[in-house]
Chains A and B, each alone.
Chain A
Amino acid sequence: NAGVTQTPKFQVLKTGQSMTLQCAQDMNHNSMYWYRQDPGMGLRLIYYSASEGTTDKGEVPNGYNVSRLNKREFSLRLESAAPSQTSVYFCASKRTRQNDEQYFGPGTRLTVT
């Protein structure tokens, strides 16, 4: 039981390049989330999927798109990377959309030059 896995662990992009961050969970959770963590800013929600087939914007969605591929997988895409998107990205999942704890992956450290 791996929990929440994220790939890649590290990535360096040039401005304007695109990439997709992958996230998968094996806990049969219904809800999945993407956050970014920046110094002094805590964790900020980018997009979330309360259940398979639905996605919604979080606090900081600009410059990102998401796909809930199936119940297990939730990907985050940067179409045209900008230096402001340099951050650590965390994926999380939870069993239901009700109040419950979220389980986090190990993170992807992204640098955009």
Chain B
Amino acid sequence: DQQVKQNSPSLSVQEGRISILNCDYTNSMFDYFLWYKKYPAEGPTFLISISSIKDKNEDGRFTVFLNKSAKHLSLHIVPSQPGDSAVYFCAAGDNQGGKLIFGQGTELSVKP
């Protein structure tokens, strides 16, 4: 059973516009959520995180929103740039040994 789901395998956005990546989870014990970015042939790199006590966290062009009642989080990138083209993974943790459960990933393509 997939506890963390990213239902859109791919997303294409024009440069300068907003990119919205979505993630759903099923386990109400998750209390920490992260987004990672991955370029081909590289390891994932941490982008932004949010604790379950917050509903929004911002870092420059990146904002993560958390809706606990809907068990849904989203990543907004504004404005999108061609260098943002990568695979984005959402992940969730429940403070048990630091384990993370990852979604399947969404491949973002930002076109000039």
**Which residues of A does B touch, CB under 8 Å?**
4, 31, 33, 35, 40-45, 48, 50, 56, 58-59, 90, 92, 94, 96-107
Given A99-B31, A104-B43, A45 and B9 contact (CB-CB distance below 8 Å): no
Chain B 1-40 interface residues, beta-carbon cutoff 8 Å to A: 4, 6, 9, 31-32, 34, 36
**Contact between A100 and B98 (Cβ–Cβ < 8 Å)?**
yes
Within 8 Å by CB of A90, from B9, B32, B43, B99, lies B43
Q: Please classify how large the interface on chain B is, using the bins under 10, 10 to 19, 20 to 34, 35 or more.
A: 20 to 34
Residue of B nearest to A91 (CB): B43
Within 8 Å by CB of A105, from B31, B43, B49, B51, lies B43
Query: Is B60 located at the chain interface by the 8 A CB criterion?
Result: no
Within 8 Å by CB of B98, from A31, A59, A107, lies A31
**Which residues of B does A touch, CB under 8 Å?**
4, 6, 9, 31-32, 34, 36, 41-46, 49, 51, 89, 91, 93, 95, 97-105
**Contact between B98 and A96 (Cβ–Cβ < 8 Å)?**
yes
